[in-house]
Chains A and B, each alone.
Chain A
Amino acid sequence: MASWWKYGVIVLLLIAAALVPQGLPTFWISIATEVLIYGLLAMSVNFLGGYGGLVSLGHAGLFGISAYTVGYLVTRMGVNHYVAFLAGVLLTLAVGAIFGGVAIRATGIYFLMITYAEGMVVWGLAYRWAKVTGAENGIRGITRPELFTKGWQYYYVVLVIFVLTIYLMWRVLNSSFGLTLRGIRECEPRMAALGYNVQVHKFLGYMWSAFFAGIAGGLYAYYNRFVSPSTVQLSVSSESVLMMVLGGVGTFFGPLLGSLIIIVGRNMISLYTARWPIIMGTIFVLTVLLAPKGIIGTLSAWWEQRKKVSAGVVEIVEASARKEVGAEGEVRVGTESQS
């Protein structure tokens, strides 16, 4: 696609996002906020999984460390909101260094299992460490910073931080580091043979991913004003992976679209039936069967295919003008032309 097309779409999306609070009632503004937060989490999973080839099933743990840190510091220790947010992200990075250091020794399904276990460690701590996390009752009463107490005000905060964060993500993915990461996804032995330190790159990739997940977690704590073990349970991790798959693994905006579909879908479908998990599940299964590249992945592949087909048509037309195509339409390559 021509660049101006892409930028135009992005600008339109930004305008639409900015207009959300004007048109919608408070409930849907909070849903939109949730879409952005979980979209960021899904994009962090995609950073490591889609671009780096390491799909993690434990990102809810990283998300939760940040959320619980913010919750604990703000409600139990009266720490300033901004400082608490920073602390949340830093703690996620610290724990991410440990988790990542252990996990990147493995690949593929083993990486999946290790990250799953790491996510469950966080869940276990959240559930049992009652003095700090409040066990299954969680941490309640997290206040928002003074200027942003209302739903629509907080939505703008989340929107701005979201845009800045994904801009950073975009820059990282298109830097030489990002390209190396993609190379490692494509063929690790080749990259090693070329002299890249594959382990260091994977580790740094994990750290970046943890950084983005930590930001999402901090935003979540202020959004929901309540953190509990359900924030870090397995279904949050698996949903973020599903959002990535639904939208398109390895596409930039895919996970955000996945987040939109799943969160909006879940809230709307459950208005009509208690059986909404079946409907959501059916959508996933259909997508995986019929559109395994995800929605954006499939659309962009289709677009590429169209371009190739039309390019091919143009080539045949030009070739026939140069009389390299015979009466029955057969193409003669590199032969003398006939009048």
Chain B
Amino acid sequence: MKQKLQIVVAVLVLVALLAGCAQPAATPAPATQAPTQAPTQAPATQAPTQAPTQAPTQAPTQAPASKEPIKIGVLAPQTGNTAASGQDMINAFQMYWEEHGMQSAGRPIELYVEDTAGNPDTGLTKARLLVEQRKVHFLVGGLVASVGLAIAEYVADTGTPYFIPVIAADDLTQRRRLPNVVRIAGWSSSSTNHPFGEWAAKQGYKTVVTIAEDYAFGHESVGGFVNTFTDNGGKLLAAIWHPLGTMDFSPFLAQIDNYKPDVVFTEQTGGDAVRFVKAWRDLGYDKKYPLLGNQTLLDQSNLRGMGDEAIGLMSTGHFAEGRDSPETKAFVEAFEKRYGLIPSYYAADMYTAARWLDAAIQKINGNVEDSEALLKAVREISFEDTPMGPVKLDEYGGTIFNVYLRKVEKRADGKLWNVVVETWPNISQFYKYNPEEFLKQPVYSRDYLGENWP
């Protein structure tokens, strides 16, 4: 009997292997009416709309492109610490295409979603899978900076266009920029904090202590704030760094009392953000110092896990879900209706990126096989208004957008969200600095926060 079981196991394993081998080596080119492919998406949101091919929105000035599907590789973390935000990314991206009939310029759109697990090795393997096996026309996504850097290195070789609406690593559109890596509808970690530092100094705060996660995103976020704060007469008393995934903030918060600053600036993500805000109130610091947060501290994806302790807290961001604009309102309503959650910036960015890509594809009449033309079209596009506000690109592949000073409020139905207090328009990754001068400085890090520059 035991022998039989052993045979069964061996057969099961062999069958699994063979089933995989049945996968054809090259992806077959299906006929025009191909349904959306989201093979790794376990919970199917709804059946994709099968719209008949529409006439392109503009009269074609050249021979129409092939009717084969446009394949988009979508990378996001579906497992790991950042899985919830990753799911927002995928949902919003899919929502756009489903709202528009899963097609662009007369060609059907096929989405291939792959899990990066928030890990550069996995992200790299999936990027290879998408480009070499699925033969996608371009890649979109990635959340964690290290994933973005690894994939950017890979596409530098293959020339595949790679769009990064969420990854905020400053250098991807600065010192390490590549012609085929473009930050459409995206942001960089320091860019939303540059105006914040200046604003804080103008409010009369003279000294600041920063407390942030000890990795690149934390360094860059703090650097953005400190650079402009010190330019406007402020002084950095201390920069406190703590590891990702800190459970107990009390020893770090206690250090703030050594300095007694006018204001405290913090950067936090994910679980750290939720725990930090709770600790800030529970330990009584909300009575002692005003708190200013970066975008991710109070982003909707984290607000969902917070209670009243978040109300009234201020941060800056390139997206505010409570913004009083028809574009933002329509997007928030549609997303909430479909997924039951108020969208986070991860969702807003991916949705706007999908719109951006749709416009670019139509501009080149669907000829996505011509990567050069696609990239050129992408760089020429701008929008007057999107869920994030007006957006366009700078010469370095970075986004120019509005930065909003936001405050957390409770909505009529009891949910928390960010409303806009002030808007700074036309903010680029270089803020008011000369780009060439800015790039001569090293990227923000623990050792360089821009205190003594310019």
> Does A28 make an interface contact (CB < 8 A)?
yes
- Chain A residue nearest to B149 (CB atoms) is A137
Which residue from A140, A141, A271 sits with its C-beta under 8 Å from B23? Answer: A271
Cβ-defined contact, B40 with A273, below 8 A: yes
Chain A residues with Cβ under 8 A from B119's Cβ? 230
Cβ-defined contact, A274 with B9, below 8 A: no
With A137-B146, A230-B120: A277-B79 Cβ-Cβ less than 8 Å: yes
Which residue from B8, B17, B26, B41 sits with its C-beta under 8 Å from A274? Answer: B41
> Does A231 make an interface contact (CB < 8 A)?
yes
Query: Which stretch of B121-129, B272-280, B286-294, B394-402 is in the interface?
Result: B121-129
Cβ-defined contact, B6 with A302, below 8 A: yes
Chain A residues with Cβ under 8 A from B25's Cβ? 23-25, 28
- Chain A residue nearest to B40 (CB atoms) is A274
- Report the bound CA distance from A272 to B113 in whole Å: 10
With A27-B129, A270-B115, A274-B42: A231-B10 Cβ-Cβ less than 8 Å: no
Q: In angstroms, how far is the closest chain A Cβ from the Cβ of B178?
A: 12
Count the A-B residue pairs with Cβ separation under 8 angstroms: how many?
108
Which residue from A23, A267, A275 sits with its C-beta under 8 Å from B42? Answer: A275
Secondary structure of the B contact surface, majority rule: helix
Q: Which of B26, B41, B120 has the most CB of A within 10 A?
A: B120
- Chain B residue nearest to A299 (CB atoms) is B10
Cβ-defined contact, B40 with A138, below 8 A: no
Cβ-defined contact, A226 with B3, below 8 A: no
With A28-B25, A274-B41: A286-B12 Cβ-Cβ less than 8 Å: yes
Which residue from A24, A137, A267, A273 sits with its C-beta under 8 Å from B145? Answer: A137
Which residue from A268, A271, A277, A283 sits with its C-beta under 8 Å from B13? Answer: A283
Q: In angstroms, how far is the closest chain A Cβ from the Cβ of B269?
A: 13
- Chain A residue nearest to B114 (CB atoms) is A270
User: Within B256-278, which residues are at the interface with A (CB < 8 Å)?
Assistant: none
User: Within B1-31, which residues are at the interface with A (CB < 8 Å)?
Assistant: 2-3, 5-6, 8-10, 12-13, 16-17, 19-20, 23, 25-26
Cβ-defined contact, A291 with B9, below 8 A: yes
Cβ-defined contact, B153 with A265, below 8 A: no
Residues of B in contact, count (CB < 8 Å): 41
Which residue from B2, B13, B129 sits with its C-beta under 8 Å from A267? Answer: B129
> Does A26 make an interface contact (CB < 8 A)?
yes
With A136-B215, A228-B150, A230-B120: A25-B133 Cβ-Cβ less than 8 Å: yes
Chain A residues with Cβ under 8 A from B13's Cβ? 261, 283, 295
Cβ-defined contact, B17 with A298, below 8 A: no
- Report the bound CA distance from A328 to B8 in whole Å: 36
Which residue from A28, A138, A271 sits with its C-beta under 8 Å from B120? Answer: A138
- Chain B residue nearest to A305 (CB atoms) is B3
Chain B residues with Cβ under 8 A from A135's Cβ? 215-216
With A226-B120, A271-B39: A136-B20 Cβ-Cβ less than 8 Å: no
Chain A residues with Cβ under 8 A from B327's Cβ? none
- Report the bound CA distance from A299 to B26 in whole Å: 34
Q: In angstroms, how far is the closest chain B Cβ from the Cβ of A130?
A: 8
> Does B132 make an interface contact (CB < 8 A)?
yes
Cβ-defined contact, A272 with B149, below 8 A: no
Q: In angstroms, how far is the closest chain A Cβ from the Cβ of B364?
A: 27
With A226-B153, A261-B17: A272-B39 Cβ-Cβ less than 8 Å: yes
Residues of A in contact, count (CB < 8 Å): 41
Cβ-defined contact, A290 with B153, below 8 A: no
> Does B362 make an interface contact (CB < 8 A)?
no
Q: In angstroms, how far is the closest chain A Cβ from the Cβ of B294?
A: 19
- Chain A residue nearest to B148 (CB atoms) is A137
With A26-B132, A271-B39: A228-B121 Cβ-Cβ less than 8 Å: yes
- Chain A residue nearest to B145 (CB atoms) is A137
- Chain B residue nearest to A301 (CB atoms) is B6
Chain B residues with Cβ under 8 A from A275's Cβ? 42
Cβ-defined contact, A264 with B150, below 8 A: no
Cβ-defined contact, A25 with B9, below 8 A: no
Cβ-defined contact, B9 with A138, below 8 A: no
Chain A residues with Cβ under 8 A from B173's Cβ? none
Cβ-defined contact, A226 with B128, below 8 A: no
Chain B residues with Cβ under 8 A from A141's Cβ? 153
- Report the bound CA distance from A277 to B42 in whole Å: 13
- Report the bound CA distance from A30 to B5 in whole Å: 34
Cβ-defined contact, A267 with B125, below 8 A: yes
> Does A320 make an interface contact (CB < 8 A)?
no
Q: In angstroms, how far is the closest chain B Cβ from the Cβ of A194?
A: 36
Chain A residues with Cβ under 8 A from B78's Cβ? 274
- Chain B residue nearest to A273 (CB atoms) is B42
Q: In angstroms, how far is the closest chain B Cβ from the Cβ of A24?
A: 6
Cβ-defined contact, B128 with A272, below 8 A: no
Cβ-defined contact, A140 with B150, below 8 A: yes
Cβ-defined contact, B133 with A27, below 8 A: yes
Interface string of A289-321 (1 = CB under 8 A from B): 011000100110010000000000000000000
Which residue from B19, B41, B120 sits with its C-beta under 8 Å from A228? Answer: B120
Q: Could you list some 22 contacts between A and B, CB below 8 A?
A: A23-B25, A24-B25, A25-B25, A28-B133, A135-B215, A135-B216, A137-B149, A224-B121, A224-B124, A226-B153, A261-B13, A264-B17, A265-B16, A273-B42, A274-B41, A283-B16, A287-B9, A291-B9, A295-B13, A298-B6, A298-B9, A302-B3
Further contacts, 6 of them, CB under 8 A, given A138-B150, A264-B17: A25-B25, A25-B133, A28-B133, A226-B124, A228-B150, A290-B9
Top 8 nearest A-B pairs (CB, nearest first) are A268-B20, A27-B132, A27-B133, A230-B121, A140-B153, A274-B78, A274-B40, A136-B146
